[in-house]
Amino acid sequence: MHLKALVTTTQIFKNKNKGLRSMTTTKQINQDDINKAVWAACDTFRGVISADTYKDFILTMLFLKYISDVYKDEYNKLVTQYGDNPELIHAMMSKQRFVLPEGASFWNLYEKRYEAGNGERIDKALHAIEEANGSKLKNVFQDISFNTDRLGQEKQKNDLLRHLLEDFGKDILDLSSERVGSLDIIGNAYEYLIKHFAAGSGATAGEYYTPPEVSTLLATVLEPVEGDQICDPCTGSGSLLLKCGAMVRKNSGSKKYALFGQEAIGSTWALAKMNMFLHGEDNHRIEWGDTIRNPLLKEKDGNGLLHFDVVTANPPFSLDKWGHDDASNDPYGRFRRGIPPKTKGDYAFISHMIETLKPETGRMGVVVPHGVLFRASSEGKIRQQLIEENLLDTVIGLPEKLFFGTGIPAAILIFKKHKTDKNVLFIDASREFKSGKNQNQLTDDNIKKIIDTYKARESVDKYAYLASFDEIKENDFNLNIPRYVDTFEEEAEIDLVAVRTERVQLKSELQTLEVEMEGYLKELGYAI
């Protein structure tokens, strides 16, 4: 960053923070406060553009505000430490993990919000940030423009963007490092918006955001370790990859791992890149494209797919038009066990993921709709082969209404390339959850029970069953969980003698009441 740029940005920060240094700003921000502020900002766009479009504007502005506040926070710390020494502060700021060019800060834009050209200034700021940070943000903002005519004529657009800047300039949205802590603000805000706009965006594409507790469950079960290469072929906002990375750091204290991913939707891919940038996950490679039709995570020679230690995903449920017509000629041999049905792409993603596992260390966790467990025809044949190859390790049934955009229950399938037995563990966790009005949730205790059961790999009455290969074969390779985990609760026997005694007593009491009622009627002159 040039000294001139620093001085300019510095002045903005000074103006913004004038008289506020004595105030306590270290209270950690609540995600609910962020969500409320984000939702209020959505009001700016309602009636102008569709919800599935304006969420991209909202989340991009959230990103800009966050990096601006982090940068401001670091600058203020240096001022406190070194005083008003621009040269020294410049030298220290140049060592930050990202660059904020001249005029590109949210606060630069905020100061000029009443001037004409808000859309153009925001676009220039975003592209300056993109250019200044090299490969970390390459092409991230190419599909987003705040200077578009979709936001109205120039005056209307300028007023709209002024309101947007003011929404994000409120004190409640102070996103300094100490306030945010370890919050995944982009992922959580994305989750929140998908929750509210599911009918208009995610649900129509079969795209369901992975709740944080499910990401935690997957990352814990798959146990990513130091040195692992971790891939999510349906990356979404990147939250599942981030959770796996955090799990490596938690378990080993090491940052020696690599994250890989691919996302088909351009705006969602951009969110994932922003999310990686915010969390300092520089060792990542996330491609933009259709994983099934055009896998981009390939060997250097371009002939084979890359292989990973951990592969995990929440693919679109039963995706129609997944690429069936070209599957028979797949150059990577992903569909050698069979071609999934034309209108249900679940096993297309499973087949792809299986083929990208390393032969010895490869392990995989995938979220699927329950139909994957028992549907027949081509899916049944693929399922049978996967079991016969001893790749399937565990089936975990999840509660209903766990995923935004759909009320249907889902399951997690765990596959391993190197198993020590031929058994499959079935866990029925469908009945244990925290109930919510619109959304159910797995609690920490619910997750712990699943993980403890998974690690023990033993049958648990009415909760888990360790099935042998022969048992599964006898069930025609049907994996429907109730076939293996008996959750039936016998009803208590009815004491017929006690019931008859109670009935006689009630009949006697009724007769007494009728006599009393007749007496009251006579007194009132209504005798029959």
The pLDDT tens digits for 474-489 are 999 999 999 999 876 6
Determine the Cα–Cα distance for residues 380 and 5; give it in Å rounded to an integer: 62
pLDDT band at 40 (very low <50, low <70, confident <90, very high): confident
Contact predicate 382/338, CB 8 Å: yes
With 0.85 as the threshold, say if the pTM is over it: no
How far apart (Å, rounded) are the C-alpha atoms in residues 325 and 333?
15
How is the chain split into domains, by residue range? 3-183, 203-483, 494-528
pLDDT tens digits for range 216-227? 999 999 999 999
Per-residue pLDDT at 268: 87
C-alpha 38/C-alpha 32 separation (Å) is 10
Which of 19-33, 45-59, 478-492 comes out lowest in average pLDDT? 19-33
Looking at the chain, the number of H-run helices and the number of E-run strands are 19, 9
Mind spelling out the 3-state secondary structure of 396-428?
EECCCCCCCCCCCCEEEEEEECCCCCCCEEEEE
Q: pLDDT tens for residues 146-173?
A: 999 988 899 999 999 999 999 999 988 8
The answer for residues whose C-beta is within 8 angstroms of residue 488's C-beta and 6 or more apart is none
Handedness of CA 90, 95, 100, 105 (dihedral sign): negative
Q: For the structural domain made of 203-483, what CATH number should be given?
A: 3.40.50.150
Rounded Cα gap, residues 59 and 65, in angstroms: 10
pLDDT at 196 over 80: no
Cβ-Cβ contacts under 8 Å for 73 (sequence gap 6 or more) = 176, 177, 178
Which of these CATH numbers, 3.40.50.10140, 1.20.810.10, 1.10.3430.10, 1.20.1260.30, describes 3-183?
Answer: 1.20.1260.30
Residues 82-87, mean pLDDT to the nearest whole number: 80
Give whichever of 56-60, 61-65, 187-191 has the largest mean pLDDT.
61-65
Helices 51-82 and 86-93: angle between axes, nearest 10 degrees:
130
CB of 404 closer than 8 Å to CB of 209: yes
Q: Do domains 3-183 and 203-483 have the same CATH topology?
A: no
Alpha helix stretches (DSSP H) within 18-50: 31-42
Average pLDDT over all residues of the chain: 87
